[in-house]
Amino acid sequence: MTVHSNTRIADLDDVELMREAARGQVDAISRIYDRFAGLLMTMAEKILMDRAMAEDLVHDVFLEVWRHAASYDPSRGTVRTWILVRLRSRALDRLRSAKSRREVGSDDQDNHGGVAAEEHEDPMLAPDRKAVRVALAELPGEQREVLELAYFQGLTSSEIAERMGSPLGTVKSRTAAALAKLRGLMERAPREATR
């Protein structure tokens, strides 16, 4: 069952939200962000001891959660634990790579494999993926590009900024604006389909 109502999304528990996020429901990933961003930011700042790096990491972890929501297995732990493990792992990767990264182009550790979420998703989700792609097509070019680079190519915010030749803050702003607009488009789509 795909959930389209904001009220309904607000009532879902973490596992149900992950299921909806795996189906492409932007509202669900937004709700997961609302629930866990503060905790992740605190943990990231403690590990990295740098607020800007922590913000970048939290942003990248949520993009990863969005891309890989379908891989979450509730039998292996809570959503909170699953996300925190991802954050800790990425934070430690960044600390290690910061020590060794003195040359341009050695930033491979931030790349999470570049595997598109669609490779491992259930074919039954194809209509939802199609709806997301249609909504993506309605976004302004730069907003669409940042989401496509993050979701379909698996790039981090830093990698997107480098590829686009834009400041990291601009990439983050475009991503936030794109997700907000995408949420609105996805909310409108079910109502228009029933007319």
CB of 164 closer than 8 Å to CB of 171: yes
In a domain? residue 1 = no
- Answer whether residue 155 is part of any domain: yes
What does the pLDDT profile of the chain (195 residues) look like in tens digits?
444 455 587 788 999 999 999 998 888 988 999 999 999 999 998 888 889 999 999 999 999 999 999 999 999 989 999 999 999 889 888 887 776 654 444 444 444 444 344 444 445 555 566 777 788 888 888 988 888 887 766 678 888 999 899 999 899 889 888 888 888 887 776 555 545
Please check whether residue 109 lies inside any domain of the structure. yes
Residue-wise pLDDT tens digits, 101-121? 544 444 444 444 443 444 444
Q: Which domain holds residue 130?
A: 6-193
Looking at the domain assignment, is residue 115 inside a domain?
A: yes
> What is the CATH classification number for the domain harbouring 105?
1.10.1740.10
CB 84 within 8 A of CB 40: yes
pTM listed for this prediction = 0.54
Q: How many domains does the chain have?
A: 1
Residue 72 covered by a domain = yes
Burial of 114 (0-12, 13-18, 19+ CB in 10 A): exposed
Please state, in angstroms and rounded to a whole number, the distance separating the CA atoms of residues 124 and 41: 35
Q: Residue 71 contacts by C-beta under 8 Å, 6 or more apart in sequence?
A: 120
